[in-house]
């Protein structure tokens, strides 16, 4: 069984985001970039399936600029067998990424495609669902547990009312949540081994995919600063402030 894992190069989770002076977007100059944390969980889960003998091969794929090779090398160091970079300088939106992943999936024919549920830069939470729709495959989002056996993926996921368990007939799409696993620490020997693993580069035009943006960003602004809290003497004063100042009552 082959598992395809999508990984995205995004701003490191520990970096404080800065908005450009013209409010056209986020300033990425001299900013540390890393693998999207949810995608790291996806790679870990795919590698665990291979280690358990369920999967035979794990293929990592990323879409973006040439620097995404660093992100793919991280996936290879975690345990992926080979990597594919769909290289483009175009700013990719979720629909474009979903189309590219479908083209790769059509070529690779994986039994399972695992993606992070969302990227921490745009928080779109769309690519996995769009891919499932484009490929006409069953999907399970926000997975907290995945068991693959007998041609099915049994996926546990959290919903508003509690927990839900889905049985998907393979091939299928799964997006990962934080509770699925704890990604392993990447060791230096594995980083060195990853340099020797195959990494293929293709272009969107090679896959016959149009990646031109369909949406236009009008303005990006930082959230409004919160006012400092105040201490009140009693409940009566609290209720009065909630009515007159906060206007929530």
Span 158-187, pLDDT tens digits = 888 888 999 999 999 999 999 999 999 999
199 is a domain residue? yes
Give the per-residue pLDDT at 241: 86
Assigned domain for 23 exists: yes
19 is a domain residue? yes
Report the number of distinct structural domains present in the chain.
1
Q: Is the pLDDT of residue 115 over 90?
A: yes
CATH number at residue 150: 3.40.50.620
Residue 249, domain member (yes or no): no
Q: What's the CA gap between 232 and 144, in Å, rounded?
A: 42
Q: Please tell me the predicted confidence (pLDDT) of residue 23.
A: 87
Q: Which of 17-31, 51-65, 104-118, 138-152 has the lowest mean pLDDT?
A: 17-31
What's the pLDDT tens digit per position in 217-239? 898 888 888 878 888 889 999 99
Average pLDDT, the chain: 92
219, part of any domain: yes
- Over range 71-80, report the average pLDDT: 96
- The domain of 157 spans 2-244
What pLDDT score was predicted for residue 47? 96
Cβ neighbours of 50 (radius 10 Å)? 18
Chain segment 4-55, per-residue pLDDT in tens: 999 999 988 888 888 888 888 888 888 899 999 999 999 999 999 999 999 9
- What pLDDT does 244 receive? 87
């Amino acid at each position: 069984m082959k598992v395809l894992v999508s990984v995205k190069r995004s701003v490191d989770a520990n970096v404080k985001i800065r908005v450009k002076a013209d409010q056209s977007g986020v300033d990425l100059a001299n900013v540390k970039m890393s693998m999207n944390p949810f995608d790291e969980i996806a790679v870990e889960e795919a590698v665990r399936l291979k280690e358990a003998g369920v999967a035979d091969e794990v293929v990592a794929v990323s879409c973006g600029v040439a620097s995404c090779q660093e992100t793919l090398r991280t996936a290879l160091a975690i345990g992926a067998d080979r990597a594919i970079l769909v290289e483009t300088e175009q700013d990719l939106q979720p629909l474009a990424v979903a189309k590219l992943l479908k083209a790769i999936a059509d070529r690779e024919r994986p039994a399972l495609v695992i993606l992070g549920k969302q990227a921490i830069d745009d928080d779109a939470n769309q690519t996995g669902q769009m891919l499932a729709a484009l490929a006409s495959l069953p999907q399970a989002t926000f997975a907290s547990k995945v068991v693959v056996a007998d041609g099915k993926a049994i996926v546990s996921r959290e919903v508003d009312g509690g927990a839900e368990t889905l049985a998907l007939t393979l091939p299928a799409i799964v997006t990962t949540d934080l509770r699925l696993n704890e990604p392993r620490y990447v060791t230096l020997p594995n980083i060195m081994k990853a340099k020797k693993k195959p990494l293929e580069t293709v272009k969107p035009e090679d896959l016959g995919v149009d990646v031109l943006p369909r949406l236009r960003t009008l303005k990006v602004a930082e959230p409004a600063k919160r006012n400092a809290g105040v201490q009140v003497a009693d409940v009566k004063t609290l209720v009065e402030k909630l009515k007159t100042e906060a206007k929530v009552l």
